Every structure is written in C-alpha cells, then in structure tokens.
Copies of this chain bind each other. A is one copy, B any other.
Amino acid sequence: MLTKRQLLVLKEIIRLFTETGQPVGSKTLMTELPIHVSSATIRNDMAALEEQGLINKTHSSSGRVPSTKGYRYYLDNLVEPAEATPRELAAIQQGFGGHFYKIDEIVAQSARILSNLTSYTAISLGPEVSTIKLNGFRLVPLGNRQVMAILVTSNGNVENQLFTLPPNVASEDIEKAIRIINDQLVGMPLNQVANRLATDVPALLFKYLSSADGFLDIFGNVLRQAAAERFYVGGRLNLMDFLGDADVPQLKQLYSLIDDENGDINKLLGPNDEGGVHVRLGSELTPDVLSNLSLITASYSVGDHGRGMIALIGPTQMPYSKMIGLLDTFRSELAKRLTSYYSHFDQ
C-alpha cells in the first residue's frame, strides 16, 4: 500500500519532528533524506501519507506532523529499538548498587533512576503476587499503652503501625490474641487471611477475649497495608518541562492523578500481563488528561515472586527507539536486582 520511500519519509518526519518539535516541510526532508529526490516528489509522497491519515498539516500550507495513527504505524512497523548506552547501564547499576532493607525501597529507587535517566516521569509498581503468605504478627509494647503492631509476610515485607491500647485491656488478652492469630493464620495467603478476618476470626477472638474490637481494627489495618498495591513516582517535577508551556490546569489534573495514593493506578497503566515494552499515546490513553502525552510501560517478572511494572510518562514526540531500548534494559536490571533481594528469603 505504501512504497518504501513513503515509509522512509514517514520515519524521517517522525525523527525530525521529535528533534525539533516543528512541522516538517518537503524541502527540509529533501536535504535530510538519504535518497536524492526532488521536493515535489516528496510532496507527492506526503500527500499519500496524509491520505492514509498518518501525518497531518497544522494548517493548509504548513509542514506535516505525525498523527497518532502515524506514530502507531511507526511503533508497530518501523521503530528500531536502540540499545542502552554503556553509560546508561552503568547509571542503572550504580543506582541499584546500595543495600536495601525493603522491596519498596528498591521500587522507589527504580522510579528515581528511570526518571533521572530520561528526564520524564516514571512510575514503578512493585512485583505483586497473590501467593504472599502471612509469616507472623507481633505486638511490641512500648510503654504508655503504646503498642507497635508488626506484620511480616513471606516475601520479606514488613508493615508496622503504632496504636494506643484502650485503658482496660489486659496484657494476657493481648498475648492470647497474638497466639490465636499466629496459630490460625500464619502460613496462609494474605487474601485468605483477609477473608477469614471478615468471617470466623472475630468470633474466635471474642470467644477468648473480653474486648477484641480495637485489636481487630489494627490487625485489619496493617494487613491492608501489607496487601496494598503501592507505586512510586520519580521525577514528578519533570512533567513541568515537557507538558506544554503554561498549561497549568492540565498539569494540576495530572498531578492529582499521579498523587492519588488510593486511586486505581492500574486504570492508568493498564494490565501488565504480557512481557515486553508497550507504548500507548494520544487518544489511545484513557484518562483524557493524557491525550497529548505518551505512556511507555514495561512489565517484568521476578521468578515466582510475581510481575512488576515500570512506566514512563513523556511527551508524544519522544525518541521512541531510545526509550524502548532503555526501558527494556531497565526492566531486566530491575528484575535482576529484585531477584537478588528475594534470594535472602528463598532458602
């Protein structure tokens, strides 16, 4: 349908537009293209490309700009991912170099590294498995009726929360509660634990304890924390650089979207079922705020510790070949780092 030269023209338009941000005209293309044809010939090709909806004019006598459809075609057929440079690889590895005590620290760090590397905004979603189990639950009395609740999961995650006991709670009651929890629930997947907490566990506790209410709340709370899907954003401020000059209202909307801790981030990122690097842009993106942006996602797997996802928000005119290659390298480095982290808990 499209000739080889026309594809070359499309590719070049995307390259130049990405570089300069300006519509690309036939004369410019004539000097930039590796082949030697006149500007009139290129104009004919451009007319064909426009016919297909792959490029657009900003006004009747302007140069051309790639359309969403054009980018889509480019991404599906033409783009050649560029390897990450040694310098980039080194930056990634150095970023992951330190010692981490929690998965979340690694995940947060991954968002920082990626945003630094790209100058875009990165969102990192840690690996998640439905098979995480409850490894233990403690209450550490700290004096003054303050107690710290600590929940440990099979993947080495630790959640804690401080709370204050009601005045009338007996300390043997606490110990009993702890014993019951640990006897009954340890070794069970977290979602099952949550289930039982909603069904038979309360009765069980009430059988032995005088007042189990506050206790249940706390346990439920920490459990929810442990099961919650957390994500980390790196390079928040970068949005301001690439998001159109002065579109402050859009900026604000975007930040609310990103900062919304309890909002469903998956709605934004999409499912992370398949491996590989995916790009969605413009009208392909669901919340309308993103309509002039581009979202690159890459999922990775950490053995049987589940799949995570890392995403990049940037302008539509991204250097895709570079970014796709970089993200591909990045996700495998991140997976490597997480695997090494988990190896402590696998013996």
Contacts and interface: CB of A to CB of B under 8 A. Distances in A.
A142 B148 contact: no
A161 interface: yes
A101 interface: yes
Interface in A108-144: 135-136, 138, 140, 142-144
Contacts of A145: 344
Interface in A229-277: 236-237, 240-241, 245-246, 248-249, 251-252, 255-256, 259
Contact of A245 (B99, B136, B152, B246): B246
B158 A146 contact: yes
A102 interface: yes
Contacts of A251: 240, 248
A246 to B, nearest CB: 3
A148 B158 contact: yes
Main secondary structure of the interface of A (DSSP, over half): mixed
21 contacts: A101-B146, A101-B161, A101-B164, A102-B162, A135-B143, A136-B142, A138-B142, A140-B140, A144-B156, A144-B345, A158-B162, A160-B160, A236-B255, A237-B252, A237-B259, A240-B248, A240-B251, A240-B252, A245-B248, A246-B246, A248-B251
A153 B148 CA distance: 14
A163 interface: yes
Contacts of A101: 146, 161-164
A290 to B, nearest CB: 17
Contacts of A236: 255, 259
